[in-house]
Amino acid sequence: MAAAPLYCVCRQPYDVSRFMIECDICKDWFHGSCVQVEEHQAVDIDVYHCPNCDVLHGPSLMKKRNNWHRHDYTEPNDGTKPVQAGTPVFVKELQNRAFASGEEIMLRMKGEQVTPRYLERHGFKYPIAVTEMEGLGLKLPPTTFSVKDVEEYVGDTVILPCLPLCIPPKDKHQTPHP
């Protein structure tokens, strides 16, 4: 049986778990970690030159940038594709945008005012701080209620969707009638 072919500057056999990139000159394959090319960087490389070949042929050639609003920056900027989140255009727009503070937009309402009818008429566009729970129709468990109690109620084999909750510290809690 022939020996397994060896690749890369480290001369190791193929390992499926490691990212590799092919040199466009010598056609050998190289581990990203051996030649300092991260997998996410490889998509931007048009013609790859390995460390052996770039001595003679110069550095790798990067793809031509056609846009600043798509993650694949070879896509033409002909106005047909929307701005993708995280691209330079997106980040710039986000940085230039002014956001109202929570205090400015938050509605303060009594529990009895927050009704299905109210929400139907006004929608739920802004966060609502309920200053008096009375009339809200919600019953809160005692403060000692914990994940263990949930397990007791529903069993330990049920997968429950959860919302991350941020509870303000007690001393900053605002009371409706100071």
- Which residue, 19 or 118, has its beta carbon nearer to Zn ion? 19
Residue of 6, 10, 61, 91 that binds Zn ion (CB under 5 A): 10
Question: Is residue 21 part of the contact set for Zn ion (CB under 5 A)?
Answer: no
Residue 30's CB is within 10 A of a number of other CB atoms, namely 23
Closest CA to 153 of 162, 167, 141, 163: 141
- Which residue, 38 or 156, has its beta carbon nearer to Zn ion? 38
Looking only at residues 44 through 73 of this chain, which bind Zn ion when binding is defined by CB under 5 A? 50, 52-53
C-beta of 50: minimal distance to Zn ion in Å?
A: 3
Question: Is residue 26 part of the contact set for Zn ion (CB under 5 A)?
Answer: yes
Closest CA to 72 of 58, 87, 57, 61: 87
Burial label for 116, CB within 10 Å (0-12, 13-18, 19+), is: exposed
Residue of 19, 25, 69, 77 that binds Zn ion (CB under 5 A): 25
